[in-house]
Amino acid sequence: MVECLTGKKILIKGNYAIANAAVLAGCQCYFGYPITPQSEIGEFMSGKMQELGRSYVSAESELAAINMTIGACATGAKAMSSSSSCAIALMQEALSYAASDELPVVLVSVMRGGPGLGNIYSSQGDYFQTTKGGGNGDYKLIALAPSTVQECVDLTYKAFYLAHKYKNPTVLLADGLLGQMMAPVEFKPYPYPEIDNSEWALTGAKGRNSRIIRSYAPLADEQCVFLEKLFNKYKQIEENETEWEEIGTEDADIVLVSFGSTFRNIKTAAKICRQKGLKVGVFRPITLYPFPHKRLNELADRVKKIISVEVNMGQMINDIKLSVDGKVPVELIHKPVGAPPAPEDIAAQVEELA
């Protein structure tokens, strides 16, 4: 176990880093159920939350865990759950409710192999699950995808901030590789302002009218008005919070796009390609929702080809195609499951596709 230290660089496993960051972000309640490859988050929380007089519940299922998180968030508290692939699948109904209830649920999703039980190897197969919504109805989850253990920390902070700022469920989408790897990390103090929730939190109706947090809209008109309002919020999120990283795209003929841990390998692959005379740049969406559609569309005006590199059968490539709107060809380099393809392999495939 590690201490909740700030200002010191320590060597720490990704899952512990996420948990420690959540504690430093002020998370008051953690609810979870074990699943590999993220069980260390719950293990860390079970000790630390008790020690700090906060709340940890070993839930009877992931259904219960995410609904407990909703309950805690409804009081305005910072609360979270964490899980992985097939168990995140169990939470989809509740995520739809949380989006509709406009509650600041924070969920850490550490991807493993699928579909079905799959396996416990790292994977990026839950891009669709996270960004396209497995629950019912029109809704969006803010989705942040770290590519390093340090960024697991920074984006855990940001997940709490954005969730509360926009009253919207927010997912930190990591993968088994990030969860299990150790890396030097610095825990800075939580850098974001605290968000006032006194206008909506359930605290008992003392001295005011009672509040109902509900998604039930029995009348069609009511639902129309609500969805328009919800999607105005999403528009704001898209305008204000879209985040990405790009390197070497100024003169690039080919741009490799990856999210999460795979980005490390395309950076090296691009260097290899450059040594071979190919002008290759790299691009990484940090927010998967909102997706940097606009920026990719701009890049498509001057590059010749975009290649999505993913550890799945090709999921984010669909969003890239939407972004570039047919301006340039979009190809896929992928591995179905496991660690990202080696930089040399990626570079060799880029040469073939160039």
Partner 1 sequence: MSVQVFKIPNSLKKDAKYTFCPGCDHGVAVRLVAEVLEEMGLTENAILAASIGCSVTLYDFLNVDALEAPHGRALAEATGIKRARPDKFVFTYQGDGDFASIGLAESMHAALRGEKLSAICINNTTYGMTGGQLGPTTIMGQITTTSPTGRNKEYYGYPIKIAEHIALCDGTAYSARVSLDSVANIKKAKQAIKKAFEVQVKGLGFGFVEILSTCPTNWRMTPEQAHERVKNEMMPVFKPGVYKDITVNNQ
Q: CB of 209: closest distance to partner 1 in angstroms?
A: 8
By rule CB under 8 A, what string of x and - marks binding of each residue 87-126 to partner 1?
------xx--x---x-------------------------
Site string for partner 1, 16-55 (x = CB under 8 A): ------------xx-x-----------------------x
Binding segment (CB under 8 A) for partner 1, from list 159-167, 214-222, 228-236, 325-333: 214-222
Minimum Å gap between C-beta 138 and partner 1 is: 17
Interaction of residue 204 with partner 1, rule CB under 8 A? yes
Tell the residue number behind the tokens 């669709």, with chain if given.
Answer: 128
Which of 213/227 has CB closer to partner 1?
213
C-beta of 29 vs 41, nearer to partner 1? 29
- Quick check: 188 and 219 in contact, CB under 8 A? no
Q: Which of 115, 140, 102, 155 is nearest to 285 (CA)?
A: 155
For every residue of 181-201, DSSP letters joined together read -EEEEE-PPP-SPPPP-TTT-
How many beta carbons lie within 10 A of that of residue 132, not counting itself?
13
Q: Which is nearer to partner 1, 17 or 29 (CB)?
A: 29
Minimum CB separation from partner 1 for residue 31, in Å? 7
Q: Give min distance, CB of 314 to partner 1, in A.
A: 32
Question: What's the chain's length in residues?
Answer: 354
If one asks whether residue 203 binds partner 1 (CB under 8 A), the answer comes out as yes
Task: Report the nearest approach of partner 1 to the CB of residue 190 (Å).
Answer: 19
Does 79 participate in binding partner 1 (rule CB under 8 A)?
yes
Return the structure tokens found at 134: 């497995």
**Is 188:7 a contact under the CB 8 Å cutoff?**
yes
The b-or-e profile of 84-119 (16+ CB within 10 A means b, else e) is bbbbbbbbbebbbbbbbbbbbbbbbbbbbbbeeebe
Site residues for partner 1, 120-179, by CB under 8 A, read: none
State how far the Cα of 124 lies from the Cα of 114, in Å rounded to an integer. Answer: 9
- By the 10 Å C-beta count (0-12 exposed, 13-18 middle, 19+ buried), 136 is classed as exposed
Q: How far apart are CA 190 and CA 161, in angstroms?
A: 9
Question: Given candidates 20, 39, 69, 156, which one binds partner 1 under the rule CB under 8 A?
Answer: 69
* Beta carbon nearer to partner 1, 104 or 281: 104
- Residues at the site binding partner 1, with contacts judged by CB under 8 A: 28-29, 31, 55, 57, 59-61, 63-65, 67-75, 77, 79, 93-94, 97, 101, 202-207, 210-216
